[in-house]
Structure 1
Amino acid sequence: MNKEQNDILILGTGYFAEVILMDLAVATRAPIKIVIGGRNEARLKWLALACNSRAAQHGNPVRFHSSYVDMASEQSMADALGNWDPGVVVQSASLQSPWSLDGKGSEWAKLMEEAGFGLAVAFQSILPMRTSAALDAVGSKAAFVNTAYPDVVNQILAARGQRITCGVGNVAIFSSILAGALAPADAERLRVIAHHHALVQWRYPVDERVGDPVRAWIGDDEIPNVKARFSHIQLPHRELNLISGGSAVPVLLSLAGVGDSRGHVPGPHGLPGGYPVWVTKGDVRLDLPTTISKDEAVSWNRSFEAVDGVSVSEDGHVDYSERARVAVARYSQEIAKGFHVRDLVAAQGALAELRAKLGG
């Protein structure tokens, strides 16, 4: 099999991956190869067929292929990486989808609602951990993009000494919706800092939101009171993928070498929360306004970790919020203590046992 430059390998065939893929089919004007990896071969074939059809409809030279990849096996992922030699690898699957909890009355779903989604961070981290390990195992130089709770998971990967380039979505949802509400000249110069917690707050009516968890600048001039200026905007839940998935397209294409771009990503190189970045082939770098330092931006994003449900300390310990600790302690005092990043596999196993016991 020929190994070409600018390949993108997207691992996962769920809803979020589908949105990214369909938008890539419409937006990609370069003759690159995009590979879809997963275990459901019928789904893989359909996604490749649909994406190639959409690309052809728009006269785009991008082409999509499918590849069987068992993400439970580092060897299977290593084989796929060796076969396709991608320039960008995207991990879009996780072991706990937020959508799987919708409308469920199980004890596990109730615990997750009470504790917050941060309780599932070990589930979110396992597949990115395996993918990053597989990249190193085959000596791949690919940029690695994790879409599973990247505001926190990327910190865990970095604390473990594993490779991570960035995430997609989250902060980019805010940069997109704010840009869409601004004049085009201002939208081009928009810079936004936001933590995952802002997604929770902006689902409420504006008078029920706590604080103002989104900061935005036009150029180097900060927009005062973002919450009030954009009070007409209230976010849905599952439908956010239509914005979040689309925001991944320019980032992935630039990482693959199809032109540099400005964008917004969560967890760049393992930082907490989301930031404006400059995206070039294989890497991202911060593109902050001159009026805020990197340390200030990081500190501001960290201030929302407790209310989001989970945080990662400098020494690599993962701590749940007080609300989460109290909720999960009714079932397991040990899980409530959190875990060190080196013990991620054991932490995920303990959480999986609890989920099975509670009917998740």
Structure 2
Amino acid sequence: MHRKKLLIVGGGNLCLQILQVLAPRNQFEFHVASRDLEKATRMCNLIRLAALQQNVAIQIHSHEMDLRESCINRNAEMLLKIRPDIIINCASLQSWRVITQLPAERFAALDQAQLGPWLPMHLAPAYALMRAVKQACPKSLVVNAAFPDAVNPILYKVGMAPDVGIGNIANLVPATRSAIAHLTDCLPTQVCAKLIGHHYFSHSAPRHGLPPQQLDASFNLTYWIDGEERTDGHTAEAIFGSVAREFSRLGGVDGQYLTAMSAVTVLENLYADHEVRVHAPGPHGLPGGYPVKVGMGKVLLDLPYGVTREEAIKVNEAGQRLDGISLIRADGTAVFGEAQMQVMQRELNFAMAEMRVCDSAAWAEELGSKYRAYADASHHTNSHHAGVAAHDAGYRAFAC
């Protein structure tokens, strides 16, 4: 049996969760690339041995890859040796989850900046990877997991867009189908939904439902029950209110299981011999998230009837502004929202009005340094306060 070669770049938790699902199915020849070769090798051995628990013998290989500017040619040489059919980028200089480990008060303050200002942490490694890909294996299909709603359209402007992303809008669709089924008194499998929206919306709706603040323009939902369109059957407030209440779920590291399943759905079907309907961010370098069809080595938009490509882009650009990126210029320069960047200035003493693609690594280095100092100071202050509280009151719990 000929298996496609799947290269996962970035040996973190998302890589592990994807492999935990895919490996026992044994549909790929697996390759894992990470800057920490020893850790990647141990992960590959874990996955190999776990698959053998189910009497499945898989092919899995580890490689060293450093996504810095100085390593692009070396990475290209490695890609030439592997010749992957599919590459999924899970690499980031700082995961979105990191700030959730701050003391609760500091996290709440910094979280107001949204994800947009953290763009350099996701763009810099993706830009380095795509330059190696274009040099060594331009026909490989590339799937990006690192803030694809913004990274993919920026890289598109410089001719280096991944083919599609995973997660984000895709993660909201199962809960949306479940909420519609709950309100209609039917099974979720009877509900088909097409949802258009940026990361901002897919992050906000599961936590807060549909607050009145500017969100109506930042999503588009069409749905069917047993093949009959019923989009006007329930209000968006009722649907996303149910998402936040009845279908509230674990987040953080545990919540990445949902993202991993989104990745699996895309990866398993990219070379299917028929088209499979899924949701994904950043298809063909478009901003935000869309319903798409994957299969036969292609990714196609799958918009609902009556919604044009331009209208869908406009919806996602509205969400993009709420996420802290006011504009992506024709040359790929990202212009950041003033309100969101003011939060970064206040909390981290970090200011970045706009960013060219070629400057992303330098901005990422500065942002990472400022955040580490902030986190160290926050945890030191929190530890001191915890000690005082324990002395005065015997016990106090701090949520992080």
Normalised-by-shorter TM-score class: 0.7 to 0.9
- Cα distance change on mapping 1:62 and 1:180 into 2, 3 Å: farther
Preserved CA contact (<8 Å) 1:94 1:123: yes
Range that drifts further, 13-22 or 42-51: 42-51
Preserved CA contact (<8 Å) 1:5 1:87: no
Q: From 314, 331, 334, give the equivalent of 1:318.
A: 334
Residue 262 in structure 1 maps to residue 263 in structure 2: no
Question: Match of 2:351?
Answer: 335
Residue 22 in structure 1 maps to residue 20 in structure 2: yes
**d(CA) in 1 for partners of 2:119, 2:144:** 13
Structure 1: gaps spanning 5 or more residues:
none
Range that drifts further, 69-78 or 79-88: 69-78
Query: Match for 2:193: what amino acid?
Result: L
Residue 228 in structure 1 maps to residue 238 in structure 2: yes
- Cα distance change on mapping 1:283 and 1:67 into 2, 3 Å: same
Give percent identity, aligned residues only.
Answer: 25
Preserved CA contact (<8 Å) 1:305 1:311: yes
Question: Match of 1:178?
Answer: 176
Query: Match for 1:186: what amino acid?
Result: Q
Higher helix share: 2
Preserved CA contact (<8 Å) 2:9 2:87: yes
Offset, 1:351:
3.0
- Cα distance change on mapping 1:8 and 1:346 into 2, 3 Å: same
**d(CA) in 1 for partners of 2:3, 2:80:** 14
Query: Match for 2:42: what amino acid?
Result: W
**d(CA) in 2 for partners of 1:85, 1:148:** 22
Preserved CA contact (<8 Å) 2:196 2:291: yes
Structure 2: gaps spanning 5 or more residues:
182-186, 377-400
Larger radius of gyration: 2
Residue 116 in structure 1 maps to residue 124 in structure 2: no
**d(CA) in 1 for partners of 2:209, 2:127:** 37
Offset, 1:330:
5.2
Instruction: Give the TM-score taking structure 2 as reference length.
Output: 0.78
Query: Match for 1:92: what amino acid?
Result: C
Range that drifts further, 81-90 or 226-235: 226-235
**d(CA) in 2 for partners of 1:41, 1:247:** 26
Query: Match for 2:86: what amino acid?
Result: V
**d(CA) in 1 for partners of 2:105, 2:358:** 29
- 1:17-51 per-residue CA deviation (whole Å, 9 max, x = no partner) reads 1111111124x353x20111113334323322333
Preserved CA contact (<8 Å) 1:12 1:36: yes
Instruction: Give the TM-score taking structure 1 as reference length.
Output: 0.86
Preserved CA contact (<8 Å) 1:263 1:277: yes
Preserved CA contact (<8 Å) 1:107 1:358: no
- 1:199-228 per-residue CA deviation (whole Å, 9 max, x = no partner) reads 332243437574355433235836342341
Q: What secondary structure does 2:267 align onto? A: helix
Residue 299 in structure 1 maps to residue 307 in structure 2: no
Q: What secondary structure does 1:233 align onto? A: helix
Q: What secondary structure does 1:199 align onto? A: helix
**d(CA) in 1 for partners of 2:240, 2:113:** 29
